[in-house]
Structure formats: structure tokens, C-alpha cells
């Protein structure tokens, strides 16, 4: 009998330890929705930059606003993927958690790509800016999505 009680106690303790590893102080569904809304905002700034550098809109004075917003948002990407937010209505791949170092590295590269683009913008050459914007897209959004985001149908 004592053996059985000990066994139960051990199993319960193990379960509790497991639950603690999973930080469930938040609602995963809300968190995933927030993360996707956050990314939609990133896309908004990115599309705005595209329209400006292509001279499709007369808002050249907004360029630094969108770039500095992206800088701030890129600083927070890492915090959008806590343990336990890997299931449900998400397109985040498991590799974010199983290859956490690679994910961190990809965030660092995305920030560097943004810094490079910003430098080119500051030089004020239109053609170079347009080319640098395409490069920025490939080595930030494109690169991270390729490794860490599932394709949506």
C-alpha cells in the first residue's frame, strides 16, 4: 500500500514539475493571436516602406518612422514565442523551440539586415535603396519564414 502511495506521489510531483516547465501563465490562444497581429503590423510597416521606396506614394518623410518601428518590433520578436505557444492555430514551426539557437541567430541576422538597409537609405540614392530593400526582405522576413514558418494555404 505504502509503495502505491509513494508511486502516486512520485507521478504527481513529476506532473507538477512538467507543468512548471510549461509556462502557462498566459492563454496560448490569445498569445498566438497577439503574435500574428504583431506580425501583421510588421507587414504593414514593410509594405509602407515598399510603397515609399517605389515612389508609389508621396510620403518619403514617413520612411524613418517605419524603419524605426521595425527596429523596435524586431527587438521583440524573440519574446513572442514562449514555451507552450507551439500548438493551436499557429504557423510557427517546432524548429523555433527545437533549434532555439538557430532561431536566435536568425533574429540577429534580421536585425543586421535592417541596419544595413537603414544605412543605404541614409545615403539617399534611390536605386541603391530599392535594391537594398529587396535584399532586406530576403534576408529578414524571407529567411526566417523559410526556416521557421509553415506555409499557409
Binding mask 62-101 for ligand HEC (x = CB under 6 A): ---------------x------------xxx---------
What's the rounded Cα separation, in Å, for the pair 91 and 100?
16
- 5-34 residues near ligand HEC, rule: CB under 6 A: 32
If you search the block for the grid coordinates 509553415, which residue do you land on? 150
**Using an 8 Å Cβ cutoff, are 140 and 132 in contact?**
no
Closest among 72, 56, 57, 47 to 133, alpha carbons compared: 47
What's the rounded Cα separation, in Å, for the pair 32 and 80?
8
Closest among 26, 139, 36, 129 to 84, alpha carbons compared: 26
- Taking the complex as a whole, how short is the minimal distance between the CB of residue 2 and ligand HEC, in angstroms? 47
Among 34, 42, 62, 120, binds ligand HEC (CB under 6 A): 42
Among 34, 39, 84, 99, binds ligand HEC (CB under 6 A): 39
Among 53, 110, 121, 132, binds ligand HEC (CB under 6 A): 110
Contact positions vs ligand HEC (CB under 6 A): 32, 35-36, 39-40, 42-43, 46, 77, 90-92, 106-107, 110, 140-141, 144-145, 148-149
Amino acid at each position: 500500500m505504502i509503495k502505491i502511495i509513494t508511486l502516486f506521489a512520485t507521478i504527481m510531483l513529476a506532473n507538477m514539475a512538467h507543468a512548471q516547465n510549461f509556462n502557462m501563465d498566459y492563454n496560448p490562444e490569445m498569445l498566438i493571436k497577439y503574435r500574428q497581429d504583431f506580425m501583421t503590423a510588421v507587414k504593414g510597416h514593410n509594405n509602407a516602406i515598399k510603397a515609399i521606396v517605389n515612389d508609389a506614394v508621396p510620403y518619403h518623410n514617413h520612411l524613418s518612422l517605419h524603419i524605426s518601428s521595425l527596429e523596435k518590433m524586431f527587438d521583440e520578436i524573440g519574446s513572442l514565442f514562449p514555451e507552450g505557444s507551439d500548438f493551436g492555430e499557429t504557423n510557427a514551426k517546432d524548429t523555433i523551440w527545437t533549434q532555439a539557437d538557430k532561431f536566435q541567430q536568425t533574429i540577429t541576422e534580421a536585425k543586421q539586415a535592417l541596419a544595413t538597409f537603414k544605412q543605404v537609405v541614409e545615403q539617399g540614392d534611390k536605386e541603391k535603396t530599392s535594391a537594398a530593400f529587396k535584399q532586406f526582405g530576403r534576408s529578414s522576413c524571407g529567411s526566417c519564414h523559410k526556416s521557421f514558418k509553415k506555409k499557409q494555404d
